[in-house]
Every structure is written in C-alpha cells, then in structure tokens.
Amino acid sequence: MAAELDRDTIERYRSLSARDAFEQAKSAGYRAGAVSSDDFLDLFGQLVDEGILTWDQVEDFNRS
C-alpha cells in the first residue's frame, strides 16, 4: 500500500464533492509513490469504506 489516509485527511475528503475527493486522493497516491493499480484500489477502497465514494463512482471517475 502506497498511502494510508489519516483521519484528518479522510474528514477533509468527506467535505468535498465525490469528484474532488477522488481527484485529491489520486494526487495523494501519486505523491506517496503509488505505482500500481492495486495501490490506487487500496487508496480508493479506504474512501469507499468510509462512505465517501462508491465503487461505481471510482469506476466512472477513472474512465473520464
């Protein structure tokens, strides 16, 4: 796992739109050294577990 989101970051993402949370998490993953799709799946999985994103949103945002 390239990036583990801390509680403050998760709460900040919670206040954003789903698209903005996705984009900021993606950027954070790159900064943390995420190199594989599994790294990003783990990162987005944290946001799904927290109820910030759904897997459908992750898929949709990743396509666009």
Predicted local confidence at residue 23, as pLDDT: 96
6-53 tens-digit pLDDT: 999 999 999 999 999 999 999 988 888 877 888 899 999 999 999 999
User: Per this entry, what is the length of the chain?
Assistant: 64
C-alpha span between 14 and 1 (Å, rounded):
21
Q: Which residues contact 39 (CB under 8 A, 6 or more apart)?
A: 1, 2, 3, 29
Predicted local confidence at residue 2, as pLDDT: 55
Predicted local confidence at residue 21, as pLDDT: 97
Predicted local confidence at residue 54, as pLDDT: 98
User: Average pLDDT for residues 53-57, to the nearest whole number?
Assistant: 98
pTM value is: 0.88
